[in-house]
């Protein structure tokens, strides 16, 4: 069984965007080592964080936060014991700045895996279900998804809409020598991607999100999905 806590705190002093990014990256690395997942949002002088994982590790990190001079007025909003499934299984997220040409640098730790899986051949398209995100697939996996979507009956307007969004907007991309991929301007504009984006590793694909949209969505999911599962979800081993 897992434990999940949610807390909010204030910055003890003003922090620059670079300092906040550094805090997020260090938390990402540390929590991955400890088997912890969740998410961290910093905005308006406040930290808001959800942590989930082995109870001893969660308690240890929270004790560290209570004694961290960068935090003040720490308030524990919720503490849940006996949690069966993680609400945020994809802590493998990276906050990345797009360059002036709209290029995204794939983190080094993913580059070899991408090259091995698909020779660097990737396909970028709109998220079929979430505004503010793009999907990035290895080419072979994308072809399977594409074929399933195009096999849907075009007599259904919902199917046609999905085919237009997912297949009609797909664009082949390939990392350059520096590991950067070009995000086409039309895709960036529709997804609302600006300078700072978040790259999520989602198993077979990546998701590229507008950072503010993702933070808002995760807050909503934390409030609405805790303890709730569809019939299909109950059979999953996550």
Question: Can you tell me the distance from the alpha carbon of 19 to that of 22, in angstroms, rounded to the nearest whole number?
Answer: 5
The answer to whether residues 23 and 70 belong to one domain is yes
pLDDT greater than 50 at residue 80: yes
Question: Can you tell me the distance from the alpha carbon of 121 to that of 107, in angstroms, rounded to the nearest whole number?
Answer: 16
Instruction: Please state which of the ranges 73-82, 88-97, 217-226 shows the lowest mean pLDDT.
Output: 217-226
Query: What pLDDT shows up at residue 238?
Result: 30
- How many structural domains comprise the chain? 2
Query: What pLDDT shows up at residue 155?
Result: 93
**Residue 127: helix, strand or coil by DSSP?**
coil
Report which DSSP code applies to 163: I
Give the distance from CA 47 to its chain's centroid.
18
The answer to whether residues 45 and 151 belong to one domain is no
Give residue-wise pLDDT tens across range 135-182. 999 998 899 999 999 999 999 998 998 999 899 999 999 999 999 999
The answer to whether residues 61 and 166 belong to one domain is no
Question: What does the pLDDT average to over 175-195?
Answer: 92
Instruction: Give the count of beta carbons closer than 10 Å to the beta carbon of residue 200.
Output: 17
Give residue-wise pLDDT tens across range 92-138. 566 788 888 999 998 877 788 788 778 999 999 998 788 889 999 99
The answer to whether residues 190 and 106 belong to one domain is yes
Give residue-wise pLDDT tens across range 16-26. 766 776 777 77
232 within some domain: no
Residue 56's nearest CA partner among 75, 35, 38, 70 is: 35
The answer to whether residues 99 and 205 belong to one domain is yes
Please report, for the domain that includes residue 6, its CATH number: 3.30.70.100
More confident site: 107 or 223? 107
Question: Can you tell me the distance from the alpha carbon of 121 to that of 132, in angstroms, rounded to the nearest whole number?
Answer: 23
Q: What tokens were used for 182?
A: 């070009």
Question: How confident is the prediction for the chain on average, in pLDDT?
Answer: 83
Question: What does the pLDDT average to over 176-190?
Answer: 93
Which domain-ending residue is among 31, 57, 89?
89
The answer to whether residues 83 and 99 belong to one domain is no
Please report, for the domain that includes residue 123, its CATH number: 3.40.1550.20
**Residue 197: helix, strand or coil by DSSP?**
strand
The answer to whether residues 121 and 186 belong to one domain is yes
pLDDT greater than 70 at residue 91: no
Q: Are 3 and 9 in contact (CB under 8 A)?
A: no
Residue 204's nearest CA partner among 90, 126, 105, 98 is: 90
Instruction: Give the count of beta carbons closer than 10 Å to the beta carbon of residue 136.
Output: 22
Q: Look up the domain containing 32 and give its range.
A: 2-89
Question: Can you tell me the distance from the alpha carbon of 225 to that of 63, in angstroms, rounded to the nearest whole number?
Answer: 27
Query: What pLDDT shows up at residue 211?
Result: 82
């Amino acid at each position: 069984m897992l434990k999940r806590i949610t807390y909010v705190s204030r910055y003890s002093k003003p922090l620059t965007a670079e300092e906040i990014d550094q805090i997020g990256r260090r938390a990402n690395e540390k929590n991955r080592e400890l088997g912890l997942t969740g998410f961290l949002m910093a905005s308006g002088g406040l930290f808001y964080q959800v942590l989930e994982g082995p109870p001893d590790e969660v308690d240890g990190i929270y004790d560290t936060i209570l004694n961290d001079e960068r935090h003040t007025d720490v308030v524990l909003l919720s503490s849940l014991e006996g949690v069966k499934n993680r609400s945020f299984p994809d802590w493998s997220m990276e906050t990345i700045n797009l360059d002036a040409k709209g290029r995204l640098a794939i983190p080094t730790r993913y580059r070899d895996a991408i090259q091995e899986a698909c020779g660097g051949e990737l396909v970028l398209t709109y998220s079929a279900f979430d505004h503010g995100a793009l999907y990035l697939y290895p080419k072979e996996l994308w072809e399977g998804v594409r074929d399933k979507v195009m096999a849907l009956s075009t007599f259904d307007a919902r199917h046609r809409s999905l085919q237009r969004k997912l297949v009609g907007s797909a664009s082949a991309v390939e990392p350059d020598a520096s590991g950067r991929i070009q995000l086409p301007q039309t895709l960036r504009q529709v997804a609302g991607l600006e300078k700072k984006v978040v790259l999520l590793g989602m198993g077979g694909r990546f998701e590229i999100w507008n950072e503010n949209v993702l933070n808002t969505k995760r807050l909503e999911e934390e409030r609405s999905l805790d303890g709730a599962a569809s019939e299909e979800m109950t059979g999953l081993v996550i």
